[in-house]
Amino acid sequence: MANTVEKMSFEDALAELESIVRDLESGKAPLDQSISAYERGIALKKHCESKLRDAQLKIEKINLGPDGKISTQPVDIED
């Protein structure tokens, strides 16, 4: 766990989070190690959610107006 969560890419954070989930589901780790892994998993989940929100804010839809002018507007991902 050398990487601080804040400096991790989305892909690296997600991969580590998936690994933590697999390890916790196996139930083979001692309790104190499981608690530490769970806490790290929470931080990784929050980091991934933040990265996804940031990416969503950057996505824009290109529109061609009736006058032929090009404009952009944020994409409503939930549609």
pLDDT tens per residue, range 19-53: 999 999 999 999 999 999 999 999 999 999 999 98
Q: Give 19-26 contacts, CB < 8 A, sequence gap 24+.
A: 20/44
User: How many CB atoms sit inside 10 A of residue 16's CB?
Assistant: 20
User: What are 61's two structure tokens?
Assistant: 């839809």
Compute the distance between CA of residue 24 and CA of residue 27 in angstroms, rounded to an integer: 5
Q: Which two three-digit tokens encode residue 46?
A: 């929050």
Domains of the chain: 5-74 (1.10.287)
Q: Against a cut of 0.85, is the pTM above it?
A: no
Neighbours of 39 (CB within 10 A): 11
